[in-house]
Amino acid sequence: MRTYDLHVRLPSKNTEMEVDRLLKQVSTLGFDGLAIDSLKPFSIKNCPESLELLHRFTFSPRSASRLRFHVNKHLKQVDLLIIHGRTKPIWLAAAQIPDVHMILLKEIEDFQVIDSQVARTIAKHGKPIEICLHRLLTHTGSLRSRLIRVMHTALDHIVRADCKLILTSGATHSCELRASKDLEALSYLASVPEETAKMAMNQGPRDLVSSLQPSRGQKKTSSRRES
């Protein structure tokens, strides 16, 4: 059974040595695939053939009015298009656009916006919600406590609405990567039920990657023709 972390950034220095460290850590943790978050195309030397790489882009729109236009613009360049917005109209609009692959919740402000109406709309359109656990790893003290409280409230709405969930690390460096079991355990702090966490770390990412196969094949064929 293949395992994925669908939200990883290349190291800021992006040297060959740093990227090699990232890949070695990925291998040590047992992941079969990664989604690298970047607007620009990227290439990784010495990448193991067994490691499946996806190109994702997280788009943070300022308003919902031109969301569909921007989705169409960026979709041609990436495998996964994720919407990260901090207002209710953006969440509701993103949920109804078929070409949006996931809706990202990461910051305290994100979890404060989610209510039962937003959660039900997202669930109705079958859109997975990405719960990025990076801030749980990096925040400390009262800030982490506040984050856990708002995540708890938001996830109560999300779980009640039966939304699809996908857990990610949001790692920006090899030391921030966590094994799938560790990410599952970390999500318990935010009151994600154990069985839901397992699905969000395993079956959810696999189903999403599987649904991308036809479009990824078409993009590869198109790029070969252009070259």
Half-sphere exposure of 13 (CA within 13 A, CB side): 10
In DSSP terms, which residues pair with 8 in a beta bridge? Answer: 36, 171
Looking at the structure of the chain, the number of domains it has is 1
Domain holding 29: CATH number? 3.20.20.140
Question: How many of the other CB atoms lie within 10 Å of CB of 3?
Answer: 16
Domain carrying residue 52: 4-226
Residues 99, 85, 36, 18, Cα dihedral to 10°: 170
Residue 11 three-state SS: coil
Q: What is the pTM of this model?
A: 0.91
As given in the structure block, the two tokens for residue 81 are 């298009």
- Count of all residues that appear for the chain in the document: 227
Residue among 58, 6, 56, 12 nearest 31 (CA): 6
Res 10: pLDDT:
82
Q: Do residues 105 and 154 touch, judged by C-beta distance below 8 A?
A: yes
Per-residue pLDDT of the chain (227 residues; tens, 9 = 90+): 899 999 998 877 666 788 888 888 998 999 999 999 998 888 788 888 889 999 999 999 999 998 999 899 888 889 999 999 889 999 999 999 999 999 999 999 999 999 999 999 999 999 999 999 999 989 999 999 999 999 999 999 999 999 999 999 999 888 899 999 999 999 999 889 999 999 999 999 999 999 997 666 545 434 333 33
CA distance 135 to 226: 40
CA distance 108 to 135: 9
Q: Do residues 167 and 106 touch, judged by C-beta distance below 8 A?
A: no
Res 18: pLDDT:
80
SS3 for 117-175, per residue?
A: HHHHHHHHCCCCEEEECHHHHHCCHHHHHHHHHHHHHHHHHHHHCCCCEEEECCECCHH
Q: Which residues contact 2 (CB under 8 A, 6 or more apart)?
A: 32, 33, 52, 206, 209
Question: How many of the other CB atoms lie within 10 Å of CB of 215?
Answer: 12
Q: Do residues 77 and 54 touch, judged by C-beta distance below 8 A?
A: no
As given in the structure block, the two tokens for residue 6 are 């669908």
CA distance 78 to 105: 20
Q: Do residues 75 and 97 touch, judged by C-beta distance below 8 A?
A: no
Where b means 16+ CB within 10 Å and e means fewer, 121-145 reads: bbbeeebbbbbbbbbbbeeeeeeee
Q: Do residues 19 and 44 touch, judged by C-beta distance below 8 A?
A: yes
Res 13: pLDDT:
67
